[in-house]
Amino acid sequence: MERLDKLLAGTGRWSRREVRTLVKEGRVLVDGLPAAGVEQKVDPAASRVQVDREALAVGGFTYVMLHKPRGVLSATEDYRQQTVLDLLSPDLKRKGLFPVGRLDKDSEGLLLLTDDGDLAHRLLSPKRHVSKVYRVWLDRPLGGADQAAFAAGIVLADGTRCRPAGLKPLGDGREALVTLHEGKFHQIKRMCASRGSAVCRLKRISMGALTLDETLEPGAYRLLTGEEVAKIGEKI
């Protein structure tokens, strides 16, 4: 059993002070009844907690959507550099979350953090081909011939063959959407390089059924809704 304020603050959405206000205002329901106080004990795995009638995915595992900013490492800890875990509240940081897959230090966009090892494994398994969509900004435009090469499977400079991938040039081709079904080291940068174009900026937009919430500023995060958790689970 956990205190209600600890549980709600652990979602990263409210500070303990804000939780106190929410409870005082009667906006927090536990199993359908207004919470008695912030010290009320709830069972994270079994109690149904709602704030403003919205059910919270507080039970069991934790799933966080982070808008990763550029310049931060997709790692749990590093002695010298800031990691994505350093962006989370202390309550969330203590939960032992880890990033599901990596984005390069200079890449940005959707990063899922969780303590659900099974879901992470399924999302990343090469056998399941979960698609990831990225927006890329390029120094030289890519076009129809590059699109065909991506669809056929790019062979990287070191001879590695990539799976067929999607390339959708936008505007004059200096921007594009790239869809991958695997995750090799610096894959998009190397695929674009093999077509004579350098990636200037790279942003992940989606991963499977999960799409970056564009209201999240770089560095901001929120818990997944129950609906999002269900959606990513069911598609893989």
Residues in 68-107 at the binding interface with ligand URA, rule: CB under 6 A: 103-104, 107
To ligand URA, the closest distance from the beta carbon of 26 in angstroms equals 45
Which is catalytic among the residues 104, 146, 158, 172? Answer: 104
> Does 104 qualify as catalytic in the annotation?
yes
Binding mask 198-217 vs ligand URA (x if CB under 6 A, - otherwise)?
----x---------------
Instruction: Report the distance separating Cα 97 and Cα 77, nearest Å.
Output: 11
Q: Smallest distance, Å, CB 195 to ligand URA?
A: 13
Query: Least distance to ligand URA from the beta carbon of 77, Å?
Result: 19
Q: Is 175 in the site for ligand URA (CB under 6 A)?
A: no
Q: Can residue 189 be called a binding residue for ligand URA (CB under 6 A)?
A: yes
Nearer to ligand URA (CB atom), residue 174 or residue 189: 189
Among 48, 94, 163, 186, binds ligand URA (CB under 6 A): 186
Q: Pick the stretch among 40-48, 110-118, 168-176, 182-190 that binds ligand URA (CB under 6 A).
A: 182-190
DSSP string, 106-162: T-EEEEEEES-HHHHHHHH-GGG---EEEEEEESS---HHHHHHHHH-PBPTTSPBP
CA 102 and chain centroid, separation? 10
Through-space distance between the first and last CA atoms of the chain, rounded to whole angstroms = 31
Size, binding site for ligand URA by CB under 6 A: 8
CA dihedral 94, 68, 50, 52 (to 10 degrees): 130
Sheet of 33-34, strands arranged across: 33-34, 28-30, 49-51, 54-55
Number of H helices, E strands in the chain: 7, 15
Amino acid at 16: R
Q: Could you tell me the smallest distance in angstroms from the CB atom of residue 10 to ligand URA?
A: 29
- Residues near ligand URA (CB under 6 A) are 103-104, 107, 186-189, 202
Q: Which residues are tagged catalytic? A: 104
